[in-house]
Amino acid sequence: MLSPTEELKVFSGRSNPALTDEICNYLEIRPGRAHAETFPDGELFVKLHEDVRGRDVYVVQSTCRPVNDNLIELLVFIDCLRRASARRVTAVLPYFGYARQDRKEEGRVPITAKLVCNLITQAGANRVLAMDLHAAQIQGFFDIPLDHLQAEPAFSKHFRSLGPERLTLVSPDVGNVKRARAYAEKMGCELAIIDKRRTSGSTAVVHTIIGNVEGRDVLMIDDMIATAGTLCEAARIVKEKGARSVRGAATHAVFAGPAFDRLEQTPFTEIAVTSTIPVTNEARERLPNLSVLSVADILGEAIARIHKNQSVSSLFTSS
């Protein structure tokens, strides 16, 4: 009979192998042996180099850029594992692409987040493990169990040295209030909200800050930095209102379009992101104030608990 450790296998797609290596180090196992390659005609091929029959298997793949390539690779990997007779296949999605297409805001458009959930399920995944989904309702798009993790422990540990007596959590817009409040309660600090409204009949924007930021160390945490427009605008506002320092943080370092230009021109003391998406050399070179926090221990502990049929939610409620 195989021991629990031998029954557990963790494989990596090509999107984030470094994170998979860290997860396996935490679990004290070696990464599963497999390879994926792209044929000259653009087709993808995946092959396993070890037996997974009857095993509890996890495949780690962030569907970040190139989004469609990484998504198809995840689907092919899942299918490969199912056809190799894995007992249970869990898709580990540190970053879930297409999450912003979660509803119809106008006619004749798709809900692509739901489509991606259907594809992952139909490919043969038995379970999904994701971190800081852009929209919480995506959990309901899956017809299989999903464990939704938070990067909060990594951020709380990193920013603990700031001290709650001078720290203010700021929500850059009203849509992020729930997340900001949760962090403020966890870190025991004050909360402020930026209320942005357009005046009628013109393009002028009136910003009202609900809460105090004068002389405070301001921290803004979101689920992702995409083009960085909202985050950078909020940083300039709190600086104008007398903030002593401004730090921006986000779980997913998407860094799309003009993000680097905007972040370079904004007075951030620090920009903190996690390892759910690989941080490029360009990002490190252009953003000397960038900190990258590992979430491998959070993902690794969640995988261990799922494997042992233990509670995952207690990871975030025990303290």
Q: pLDDT tens digits, residue range 213-271? A: 999 999 999 999 999 999 999 999 999 999 999 999 999 999 999 999 999 999 999 99
Q: 143 and 204 share a domain? A: no
Identify the residue whose tokens are 């966890």.
Answer: 186
For residue 263 the two structure tokens come to 């972040």
Instruction: Evaluate if residue 103 carries a pLDDT over 70.
Output: yes
Give, in order, the Cα–Cα distances in Å from 48 to each of 12, 35, 78, 94, 118.
Answer: 11, 7, 11, 22, 24
Q: Report percent pLDDT > 70 for the chain.
A: 94
Predicted confidence at residue 2, as pLDDT, reads 39
Residue 313 DSSP class:
G
Task: Report, as residue numbers or ranges, the catalytic residues.
Answer: 196
Q: 105 and 194 share a domain? A: no
Instruction: Evaluate if residue 1 carries a pLDDT over 50.
Output: no
pLDDT bucket at 3, cuts 50 / 70 / 90: low
Q: 187 and 285 share a domain? A: yes
pLDDT bucket at 303, cuts 50 / 70 / 90: very high
Predicted confidence at residue 207, as pLDDT, reads 75
Q: 14 and 70 share a domain? A: yes
Predicted confidence at residue 202, as pLDDT, reads 46
**Domains: count for the chain:** 2
List, for residues 14-67, the tens digit of each pLDDT value: 999 999 999 999 999 999 999 999 999 999 999 999 999 999 999 999 999 999
Predicted confidence at residue 174, as pLDDT, reads 83
Q: 10 and 143 share a domain? A: yes
On whether the CB atoms of residues 181 and 115 are closer than 8 A, the answer is: no
Q: 84 and 212 share a domain? A: no
Predicted confidence at residue 317, as pLDDT, reads 75
Domain of residue 122, CATH code: 3.40.50.2020
Q: 164 and 129 share a domain? A: no
- CB burial of 30-44 (b: ≥16 within 10 Å; e: otherwise) equals ebbebebeeeeeeee
List, for residues 65-93, the tens digit of each pLDDT value: 999 999 999 999 999 999 999 999 999 99
Q: 158 and 289 share a domain? A: yes
Predicted confidence at residue 200, as pLDDT, reads 54
Q: 189 and 113 share a domain? A: no
Predicted confidence at residue 7, as pLDDT, reads 86
List, for residues 175-207, the tens digit of each pLDDT value: 889 999 999 999 999 999 998 775 554 445 657
Is residue 2 exposed (0-12), middle (13-18) or buried (19+ Cβ within 10 Å)?
Answer: exposed
Q: 125 and 199 share a domain? A: no
Q: 275 and 288 share a domain? A: yes
Q: 38 and 136 share a domain? A: yes
Q: Whole domain around residue 241: which residue ranges? A: 153-293
